[in-house]
Amino acid sequence: MKESNKKNTLGRSWQVLLWVFLFAGFMGITVHGKESLEINAQMHEQWESEGAFWAKIAITICNQTDAAAKNWKIIFSLPEGGEIQDIWNGQENVMEENIIITAASYNTTIHEGETAEVGFIIRTAEKMELPQVKVTADMEERTEENFSKGYEEKKVQLQNAEKKAHSCDYDGKGVSVHGQLRVEGTQLVDEQGKPVVLHGMSSHGMAWYPQFTSEHILESIREKGANIFRAAMYTAEDGGYCEGNAQEAKQLTFDAVDRAIALDLYVVIDWHILSDHTPQLHKEEALEFFAEASERYAGNPAVIYEICNEPNGTDWGSDIKPYAMEVIPVIRKNSPDAVVLVGCNTWSQDVDVASMDKLDFENVMYTFHFYAGTHMLDAFCGKIETALRNGCGIFVSEWGTSRADGSNGVFLEESHRWLDYLDEKGISWINWSLSDKEESSAAFLPGTDSEGLGEEDLSESGRFVFDALNCN
């Protein structure tokens, strides 16, 4: 192309209109002779509850062009009586019979080689057929100016990723130093009433990766600076407490808890609901389990109880709060001083909603979960700010450097920003996860020998998080 013609085309934009059907897999669209946006649309789950049908849908837009995709929109029609219950990474608008999901403030532009993901839960009166989806985006060709700007932005991100994870202003010591914890206002404090911030790691499912809760592994994270460990005991999944061998799941959990206590770590016993959606589904099993666990660890200052991991597709006031009001007294009967963590709507993100209808118990904190590739600080920290203003203590009992499904990334720059923010607010955090699962959020590379652990076995996420722990 001649130089004069080249200048005339710089900055040219066009709009691409994409029609896709929701299905598991990618569809590539070609525009003006160039491969354009790839759409990965998936229905992850469908379930029936409260006389209605629910579906969780995620759509990923992947920009494989050499142009920036701006101001994307997702358009589709819902069946009569259908409605969106929850949405993330986007904003819902209604136009006549169509639902239009527009970008959030932080993902309006999808640069070359990058992706944007939006997800939502649909509620319908009858079992839903997958709707037809239309996606539009303004495609802006690369110019000399925006190419240079994009290059510099990437360069800065890489440089920042090599810096120390975040400012280190906590002491990292365990139970022997801080003793019995309690909640004063919104702050976690120790036995002397001094503010304390806990930083540590979570197991993956105890039934699947028990080897990464060994004494050697727990000692390794303590040496890196961790002062808390979370034992995640799934409930409804294969091998979980409610769908597998309850005695085996419980024993794996208690064994890991005992090892953590022996190493002077605080430890969270996590009733890890996920695919069961509502804590009410296995409430009776939860009451039985927490009665036994709180009796076993009665008076032990190391133990913290997390009573519902990530409620989803359910409601705080009519579902989660009533569950907590039954479970917490069972724990208090045996362990009256223990801190209790309570999960919230939408995979433990809606702490703002919970804070408007608080639990009437002392020493309770509300859990907030985030994944740096899905939950951007600028969009989600407002939930935490609202909860703090309403007098609720926040505990980040699970976060990851990846997207919410454990894949893609790692998103180090956004992880930096989150950890800096949590440090500023004095909020404790626990990273997901101590496993060698083939996903980017895992701390170890696939095939890692849990008893011969070395620095070379750490994943990119593991190196980042262990560096974040190594602050004392």
Quickly list DSSP for 131-164.
Answer: PEEEEEEEEEE--HHHHHHHHHHHHHHHHHHTS-
* Residue ranges in 48-102 assigned as alpha helix (H): none
User: Pseudo-torsion of CA 316, 379, 138, 147, nearest 10°?
Assistant: -150
Choose among 269, 253, 263: nearest CA to 220: 263
∠226-418-212 over CA atoms, to 5°?
35
Determine which one of 310, 414, 438, 456 is catalytic: 310
Phi and psi torsions of 165, nearest 5°: -55, -45
d(CA 101, CA 94): 9
The 3-state DSSP class for residue 334 equals helix
Helix (H, G, I), strand (E, B) or coil at 427: coil
Distance CA 207, CA 287 (A): 21
Among the options 398, 424, 439, 456, which is catalytic? 398
Task: Based on the residue annotation, tell me whether 398 is a catalytic residue of this protein.
Answer: yes
Q: Identify the bridge partners of residue 93 per DSSP, sorted by sequence position.
A: 100
Closest by CA to 361, choosing from 396, 393, 386, 389, is: 393
User: For this structure, is 140 an active site residue?
Assistant: no
Please choose, from the candidates 419, 381, 371, 369, the residue with its C-alpha nearest in 3D space to the C-alpha of residue 268. 369
Looking up tokens 């652990």 gives: 453
Do 112 and 93 form a contact (C-beta atoms < 8 A)? no
Positive or negative CA dihedral for 98, 317, 117, 423?
positive
Active site residues: 310, 398
